[in-house]
Structure 1
Amino acid sequence: MFKSTQALFGGRPRGASPPPQKARQRKRLRSVDRVVDTVSAALERNGQTSKAVNRWFAEMPREEEMLPKDKYTLFDKKEKSYRKSIHKLPKWTRVSQRVNPPGF
């Protein structure tokens, strides 16, 4: 017979990201947007352009344009719902997770 004890039920169940973690994620996304805007403005002042900056503006949505689903989760084909919390990706602060496959 199964007897429930504290040892068997130990550990913290992990669900979605807590609110402070989500706030830090939004702050990181906005800071990247500010850096790209600053670099773009500096290049325009000098009459130059950058292929990478132009590509960023064409392909990447800004933080305010992103859906919450895309801000806090990422696509994973191995997951049951094809999404998992962004903090479960190793080094997730170093990789851009702004673009996900359409429909997922």
Structure 2
Amino acid sequence: MFGPFKLTSSVAGGLLWKIPWRMSTHQKGRQRERLKNVDQVIKQLTLGLHVQRCQEKGLTYQEALEKRKKYKPRSKSLRLLNKPSVFPKENQMSSKDKYWTFDKRAIGYRKGLHKVPKWTKISIRKTPQFF
């Protein structure tokens, strides 16, 4: 249509979302930092629970840190987070797993992690088995 009532893309198709199909290098860097921060938190939690169990057994804080064999957390969910097969660390992940996620509707069954809602708040590290 011509004139003052010319059709625009936002009027024709509704809200126009402009999400690039590829993550920028800055987004990838921040994603790696987030993954490393989560790994550090899990490591500190595991170490803190180890020290707590050692202190229950009568060892001091320094002796607990120097102890060669570390106690595993009693909580099953924390034990699972320490298993690389369930929750791999950032340096153990391939770049495909760091920046892409499984999507059954996408061509090639992968979509950019930045297209997942609230992708900065969740930790998606594993794809389905045999994929």
In 2, Cα distance between equivalents of 1:68 and 1:38: 25
Matched residue pairs, number?
A: 96
Unaligned runs of 5+ in 1: 1-6
In 2, Cα distance between equivalents of 1:91 and 1:18: 17
Mapped contact 1:75–1:83 kept (Cα < 8 A): yes
Mark the CA change 1:92 to 1:12 in structure 2 (over 3 Å): closer, same or farther. closer
- From 38, 42, 49, the counterpart of 2:48: 42
Q: TM-score, normalised by structure 2?
A: 0.66
Structure 1 stretches of 4+ with a deviation exceeding 4 A read none
Q: TM-score, normalised by structure 1?
A: 0.82
Name the stretch that deviates more: 41-50 or 78-87: 41-50
Structure number with bigger Rg: 2
- From 10, 14, 17, the counterpart of 2:20: 14
**3-state DSSP class of the match of 1:35?**
helix
- From 20, 32, 35, the counterpart of 1:29: 35
Counterpart mapping for 1:71-82 below 5 A? 71-82=98-109
1:64-94 superposed Cα distances (whole Å, 9 cap, x missing partner): 0000000000000000110000010001122
Mark the CA change 1:43 to 1:29 in structure 2 (over 3 Å): closer, same or farther. same
In 2, Cα distance between equivalents of 1:30 and 1:42: 18
Overall identity of the aligned pairs, in %: 38
In 2, Cα distance between equivalents of 1:103 and 1:17: 25
